[in-house]
Amino acid sequence: MLKRQQSADEAGVIFTLSGRIQGDDVAALQRRCGLEAAGRRLVLDVQEVTLVDRNAVQFLARCEADGRTLAHCPASIRRWIVRERDGKEAVRLHVVRRMKAREETCSLPRDLAGCRHVSLVR
């Protein structure tokens, strides 16, 4: 069960989270972050979080990517966030490499580029 305490000042909003973040908690937390932190700095203090699922890790990674701060993040959660972020980057790089390779193999040689018809059957 996720417990959330909130404090705010002129600098921003701090959500202190404790317990488990999973399932429906992620969607509710995402909505709450959007409502409370509109135009203000948001800090998620996750020191007392005991369990997360993959959706929660993806949410926390997106928060960081969007410029939000994760304070007191346990090492196990931090490692999972890094793996999630690096995994997506690795997939993106793989796709880019495959697209470039496909372009190189599909392009016509320069001397044939002006031809209207090239028969590949002998």
Domain map of the chain by residue range?
2-81
pLDDT exceeds 60 at position 109: no
The 8-class DSSP code of residue 111 comes to: G
- Cα–Cα distance measured from residue 71 to residue 121, given in angstroms and rounded to the nearest whole number: 65
pLDDT-derived band of residue 107, with 50, 70 and 90 as boundaries? low
pLDDT of 93 strictly over 60: yes
Among 10-19, 35-44, 48-57, where is mean pLDDT lowest? Answer: 35-44
Can you tell me the mean pLDDT for 89-115?
69
Query: Is pLDDT of 122 > 70?
Result: no
Are 46 and 57 a contacting pair, CB within 8 Å? no
- Beta strands (DSSP E) in 1-122 are 2-9, 12-21, 41-52, 69-71
Length of the chain: 122
Give the homologous superfamily in CATH for domain 2-81.
STAS domain (3.30.750.24)
Mean pLDDT confidence for 32-59: 91
Helix count and strand count (H, E) for the chain = 3, 4
